[in-house]
């Protein structure tokens, strides 16, 4: 990826599943330096032993700490903001902590980036931020709005902010797949399913990383990128893991949805469809003339997007692409 040449990149929350896979990709590129910014010294130590690269640097810090972020982002060209408190039940019972990390943390990233003239900032979001019904989704929706509207705050600097929103990442920490696998290893006779009607978007971790890096290349600032992803039925996942496995219904957890949405209908008027992704462009304020639709309709690869219908919704339940049980087996 030519746009990464000689760049200094920082990943917040870089010791997590996404950060580790992203590090694997970035160290293969001709970058100048990669900074991992996170709170966990043990994970940083383990990660340094795992990758053992002279291009890799570790910075202990919390996104809640603006001063620490200002120090960490000096001379940084690109920030990938992956740090978050993301467990839905935990957020429901610890709302203030989630707000501090997911919202105030986003504000701190924005301030530090503008202060140090970081060129590009891309924030990772979630399907739970679209029409949120739980606190985690609400904090991430607020975070998305902060990053998108930060383009109006950057003033005379060159800092650009964009967001990537995708669904459940296969095998990431805290997701259902490793949980089910751990139960199967314990020889359980039945797996707990919240509701047999439940569907989810499904994306491989490496695909998510590639999409984020590609979005950094394409971004002009203010847009929200959404990859086209297949959906799964939770009961099909059980069958894919073990065709003889039974399941029992435990009921939907606090803050959980039956189906997830990536593009809500209210955003349809600003949504463009490209071959492999959707793009929600920012709604311009009446006084803003710096960017027109043309900035977003044709991307840097000269691909032209098409506006979706006014009633368009990209939902895991109505998705045209569902993985079968046999297809799921290939992914797990």
Domain boundaries, the chain: 2-168+204-228+263-311
Helix axes 205-218, 17-26, angle to 10 degrees: 60
Whether 235 contacts 324, CB under 8 Å: no
Average pLDDT along the chain, 332 residues, taken 10 residues at a time: 96 96 97 97 96 96 98 98 93 95 98 96 97 96 97 84 94 83 95 96 95 97 97 96 96 90 96 98 65 83 96 97 95 84
**pLDDT value, residue 101:** 98
Instruction: Give residue 288's pLDDT.
Output: 54
Any catalytic annotation for residue 128? yes
Q: What is the pTM of this model?
A: 0.94
Q: What is the edge-to-edge ordering of all strands in the sheet holding 168-169?
A: 168-169, 199-203, 231-233
Q: How far apart are CA 23 and CA 28, in angstroms?
A: 9
pLDDT of residue 237: 96
Structure confidence at residue 153 (pLDDT): 87
CATH topology for the 2-168+204-228+263-311 domain: Rossmann fold (3.40.50)
Q: Coil, strand or helix: which one is 204?
A: coil
| Catalytic, out of 86, 120, 128, 257 | 128
The whole-number pLDDT of residue 286 equals 46
Q: Which residues contact 144 (CB under 8 A, 6 or more apart)?
A: 123, 125, 129, 163, 165, 224
List, edge to edge, every strand of the sheet that includes 277-280: 56-60, 33-38, 8-12, 78-81, 120-126, 160-166, 224-227, 277-280, 271-273, 306-307
Distance CA 279, CA 96 (A): 31
* Separation of alpha carbons 46 and 39, rounded Å: 13
**Residue 166's CB: how many other CB atoms inside 10 A?**
23
């Amino acid at each position: 990826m030519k746009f990464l040449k000689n760049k200094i990149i920082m990943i917040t929350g870089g010791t997590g599943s996404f950060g580790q896979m992203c590090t694997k990709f970035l160290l293969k590129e001709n970058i100048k330096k990669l900074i991992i910014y996170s709170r966990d010294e043990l994970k940083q130590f383990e990660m340094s032993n795992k990758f053992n690269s002279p291009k890799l640097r570790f910075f202990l810090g919390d996104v809640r700490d603006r001063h620490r972020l200002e120090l960490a982002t000096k001379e940084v060209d690109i920030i990938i903001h992956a740090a978050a408190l993301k467990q839905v039940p935990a957020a429901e019972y610890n709302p203030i902590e989630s707000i501090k990390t997911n919202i105030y943390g986003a504000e701190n990233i924005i301030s530090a980036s503008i202060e140090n003239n970081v060129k590009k900032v891309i924030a990772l979001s979630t399907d739970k931020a679209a029409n949120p019904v739980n606190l985690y989704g609400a904090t991430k929706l607020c975070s998305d709005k902060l990053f998108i509207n930060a383009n109006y705050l950057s003033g005379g600097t060159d800092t650009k902010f964009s967001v990537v929103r995708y669904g459940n990442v296969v095998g990431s920490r805290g997701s259902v797949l490793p949980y089910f696998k751990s139960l199967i290893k314990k020889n359980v006779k039945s797996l707990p399913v919240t509701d047999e009607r439940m569907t989810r978007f499904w994306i491989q971790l490496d695909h998510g990383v590639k999409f984020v890096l590609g979005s950094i290349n394409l971004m002009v600032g203010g847009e929200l990128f959404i990859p086209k992803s297949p959906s799964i039925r939770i009961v099909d996942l059980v069958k894919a893991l073990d065709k003889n496995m039974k399941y029992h219904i435990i009921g939907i957890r606090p803050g959980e949805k039956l189906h997830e949405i990536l593009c809500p209908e209210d955003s349809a008027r600003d949504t463009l469809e490209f071959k492999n992704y959707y793009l929600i462009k920012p709604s311009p304020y009446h006084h803003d003339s710096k960017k027109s639709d043309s900035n977003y309709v044709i991307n840097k690869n000269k691909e032209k997007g098409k506006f979706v219908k006014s009633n368009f919704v990209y939902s895991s339940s109505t998705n045209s692409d569902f993985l079968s049980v046999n297809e799921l087996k290939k992914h797990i």
